[in-house]
Amino acid sequence: MGIVIAKNLNLYYGNVQALKNVSIDIEKNSVTALIGPSGCGKSTFLRTINRMNDLIDSVKIDGEVLYENKNIYSSDYDVIDLRKKIGMVFQKPNPFPMSIYDNVAYGPKIHGLTNKKELDEIVEDSLKGAALWNEVKDRLKKSALGLSGGQQQRLCIARTLAVQPEVLLMDEPTSALDPISTLKVEELMDVLKKKYTVIIVTHNMQQAGRISDYTAFFLNGEIVENGKTENIFYKPQDKRTEDYITGRFG
């Protein structure tokens, strides 16, 4: 059984249906890539997993999203706790305008941690987890805005790791980065899945093929096909999947 399971999930923006009967199991300690053309529902689905769509007034959702076997859309579910356990990294790096240290310590402080020694350990462990420690350990008190784009994105990953999540949602995390920074983030994902479950939206087919264990192909709000990446890429069961992956789609 997966760590995140969607069952017959439908989502509407007003009268527009963005997700149609989506069902999928996300395996623990794996990287799952969500692929498909722009506007197909993959980022919308990603945001349902930590209820980010709740912030949009016109949204209506039915169906279930189970996390650790509990429906996160039940009325008594603690959304704050959910977003601690399921962290999110966005398309563009968004460090806070404060020091590198304070960026990483921000989440634990919000959750009530004040012990300096514990905060120091969390900051170091999180930066190491994001493969950034060696690059910034001598300038932790410097502004995070002085980092390169790739470093800022890894800092945002470290900031997410600091609250000890179990699942990492990544919405095109390398689309704004140069090739070298992209490679570093891709290498990092391979390390992160040993400890976390990673779900990534990407338009880059080569990236999906390199980093993911599982792939789901979205089209017009539906999952056309999902399974092990090697099967989706090399033995697709649906011609639309094959056409999209090979660039013949549309």
State the pLDDT at residue 248.
77
Residue carrying structure tokens 């999180």: 126
42-65 pLDDT, tens digit each: 999 999 999 999 888 899 999 999
The list of the chain residues with pLDDT below 70 reads 249-250
State the pLDDT at residue 177.
87
End-to-end Cα spacing for the chain: 35
State the pLDDT at residue 250.
59
State the pLDDT at residue 205.
92
State the pLDDT at residue 116.
95
Could you tell me the domains of the chain? 4-246 (3.40.50.300)
Residue partners of 18: CB distance under 8 A and separation at least 6: 11, 12, 41, 44, 221
221-240 pLDDT, tens digit each: 999 999 999 999 999 999 99
